[in-house]
Structures are given as structure tokens and as C-alpha cells.
């Protein structure tokens, strides 16, 4: 089996192997090529920092890497890693991880991060064997029941895509996961919709969502909480989503106010992921 960098490859080179590798997973990921390309673009995929495994001349495994800056330090973020069923049990994941570690180290990057589905014990064990340790649990919910907002706040649905006007994510209780960090949200295609509640020129609450109903960010200024602003934003967001369905991915399991809000509006729990990190010795 050949292990090498993915430098020079494009999403269409990865797509067949991606579908094969995730076909038998707990949550099978079977994106179309445009969906995969959009996901890699949003996550900031860097082919030259990524690794692949070739078996009989065909790509049979991948470790897709980005390098976001988190807390002032660049990290290697594993967007996705997988091996085709026919190529498993050949150390492909271990060898790809080793190559990625060396590629990152050559750029001065010593810390890595990834997410793995809670119920996928085999993958969790595999990453643990590579030195990754669980950092926090991230929950995913779906909200489809009509939101009933007790208070009436005027919501502005901004028609122009103007990220410079988005409020800084300072009111978030916990750091967002990499897919929800601002640099990732700014690369979203199609662009995110922005909804806000404003008063006297100040933004009291803000919601960012994709056209298909993924709520990427929801925040309310601390002095204005518990006044129905978040519920009003959710209600307005439902009016923009197909069938009123909203998705919430990567909710920090410690964020009790947000979890309470979602459950109060009858959001349904879908699954959890573990965010895991690895730090190479200096």
C-alpha cells in the first residue's frame, strides 16, 4: 500500500473513495460531489497537508486536513478520515496519520483536532491508539415543532450578504467547534443568512443559518437574555427553512442554557460527537 500526500488532488479525485469508506458507517455519509466540494471548501481543506492510501493504484483511504488558527496557534484539523472496506486492516489509518503528523510538523503545527461519532467505538479506539484524547462532547439536535415565542421582538432578516456587519461571537458560552468557527462560516457556499434583533443601533441577538436550515450560530447579548429574543430568532428562522426544520450541530454538551432552549421548543436529539485533540511533544 502506498501512502502519500494528496497534493494536487481535487474533490472529484476523493469522492469515489469517500463514498466507499463511509458506506458502512454508523451514520453513512454519502454526499454528492458538489456537496463534498462545498464541505471541503467550507472546512478549509489543504491537500498538501493531507494524506492518502493507494491500493493497486486506486485511492483507498484518506485523511483530509485543514489548518485553522485556534487560540493563536495553527492546528491540524481532520475534516474526515476513512478507509475503503477492502483496504482495512493494513495500517492505512495509522500510516496516514503518521504522514499527516510529519507534514504538519514541517509547518510548525504540533496540535491536531478531530470529531468522531459517539457510537463509533471502533473509530474512537483507533484515534485513541494514535494518541488523541477526548476534549468535549458535542450534541446534534433537530427542531421541527413550531416555535412559540412568548415575547414579540422585531427580527430583521438581512437580504444582503455582509459578514462585516455580523456581531463578533463574543456572547457564545463555549468556543465553537471548527465547522462552526467564523472562518469556516465565511466560506459557506451558498452564503449563510443573517437574522438579528436590534434596538437603538445595538444588536441584542443574532442567528446565522444555511438555506437548508442549519443554525450555525445563535447568540444573545448577556444583559438581554431570558427575554424571549432567542425564541423569536428561532421562530423567524423556521419561516425561512424548508418545512420549518432547523438543525443544530456541535452544541457543546455543557451549554445548558442553549440545551434548555432547544428542549423547551421540543428539539429532538440526534447524535453526539466527541471532539478529540492530540499534541505532539515540543
**How far is the C-alpha of 127 from the C-alpha of 65, rounded, in Å?**
15
- Cβ atoms 27, 271 nearer than 8 A: yes
**How far is the C-alpha of 276 from the C-alpha of 134, rounded, in Å?**
4
DSSP for 47-79? Answer: GGG-EEEEETTEEEEEEEEE--EETTEEEEEEE
The predicted-structure confidence for 196-212, as pLDDT tens digits, reads as follows: 999 999 999 999 999 99
Place of cell 468556543: 175
State the Cα torsion 153-158-159-165 to the nearest 10°: 170
Q: Looking at the DSSP assignment, which residues form a beta bridge with residue 117?
A: 273
CA angle 212–215–219, rounded 5-degree value: 155
- Cβ atoms 60, 83 nearer than 8 A: yes
**How far is the C-alpha of 81 from the C-alpha of 43, rounded, in Å?**
14
Residues 6+ apart with CB under 8 A from 250: 115, 138, 139, 140, 176, 177, 179, 180, 273
Helix, strand and coil content of the chain, in percent to the nearest 5, comes to: 35, 35, 35
How is residue 187 annotated by DSSP? T
Measured from the Cβ of residue 280, the count of other Cβ atoms closer than 10 Å reads 14
Which residue in 79, 77, 9 sits closest to 47, CA to CA?
A: 9
pLDDT one digit per residue (tens) for the chain, 282 residues: 999 999 999 999 999 999 999 998 877 789 999 999 999 999 999 999 999 999 999 999 999 999 999 999 999 999 999 999 999 989 999 999 999 999 999 999 999 999 999 988 999 999 999 999 999 999 999 999 999 988 899 999 999 899 999 999 999 999 999 999 999 999 999 999 999 999 999 999 999 999 999 999 999 999 999 999 999 999 999 999 988 999 999 999 999 999 999 999 999 999 999 999 999 775
Q: Which domains are seen in the chain, by residue range?
A: 2-131 (3.40.630.30), 141-273 (3.40.630.30)
- Cβ atoms 65, 50 nearer than 8 A: yes
pLDDT of residue 282: 59
pLDDT of residue 26: 76
What are the cell numbers at 194?
443573517
Place of cell 457564545: 172
Question: Does pTM top 0.85 for this prediction?
Answer: yes
Place of cell 422585531: 154
3-state SS assignment for residue 147: coil
For 216, counting Cβ atoms within 10 Å of its Cβ (0-12 exposed, 13-18 middle, 19+ buried), the class is buried
Place of cell 504540533: 110
Amino acid at each position: 500500500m502506498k501512502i502519500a500526500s494528496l497534493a494536487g488532488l481535487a474533490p472529484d479525485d476523493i469522492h469515489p473513495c469517500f463514498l466507499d469508506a463511509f458506506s458502512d458507517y454508523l451514520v453513512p455519509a454519502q454526499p454528492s460531489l458538489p456537496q463534498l466540494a462545498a464541505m471541503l471548501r467550507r472546512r478549509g481543506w489543504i491537500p498538501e497537508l493531507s494524506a492518502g492510501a493507494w491500493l493497486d493504484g486506486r485511492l483507498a483511504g484518506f485523511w483530509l486536513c485543514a489548518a485553522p488558527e485556534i487560540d493563536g496557534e495553527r492546528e491540524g484539523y481532520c475534516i474526515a478520515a476513512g478507509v475503503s472496506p477492502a483496504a482495512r486492516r493494513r495500517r492505512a489509518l495509522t500510516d496516514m496519520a503518521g504522514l499527516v503528523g510529519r507534514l504538519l510538523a514541517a509547518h510548525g503545527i504540533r496540535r491536531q483536532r478531530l470529531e468522531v461519532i459517539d457510537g463509533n467505538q471502533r473509530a474512537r479506539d483507533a484515534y485513541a491508539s494514535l494518541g488523541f484524547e477526548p476534549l468535549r462532547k458535542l450534541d446534534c439536535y433537530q427542531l421541527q415543532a413550531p416555535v412559540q415565542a412568548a415575547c414579540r421582538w422585531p427580527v430583521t432578516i438581512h437580504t444582503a450578504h455582509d459578514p462585516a456587519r455580523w456581531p463578533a461571537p463574543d456572547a457564545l458560552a463555549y468556543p465553537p467547534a471548527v465547522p462552526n468557527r467564523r472562518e469556516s462560516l465565511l466560506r459557506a457556499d451558498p452564503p449563510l443568512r443573517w437574522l438579528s434583533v436590534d434596538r437603538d443601533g445595538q444588536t441584542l441577538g443574532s442567528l446565522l443559518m444555511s438555506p437548508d436550515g442549519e443554525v450555525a450560530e445563535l447568540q444573545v447579548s448577556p444583559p438581554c437574555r431570558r427575554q424571549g429574543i432567542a425564541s423569536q430568532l428561532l421562530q423567524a428562522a423556521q419561516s425561512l427553512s424548508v418545512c420549518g426544520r432547523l438543525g443544530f450541530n456541535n452544541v457543546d454538551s455543557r451549554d445548558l442554557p442553549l440545551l434548555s432552549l432547544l428542549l423547551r421548543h421540543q428539539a429532538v436529539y440526534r447524535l453526539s460527537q466527541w471532539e478529540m485533540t492530540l499534541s505532539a511533544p515540543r
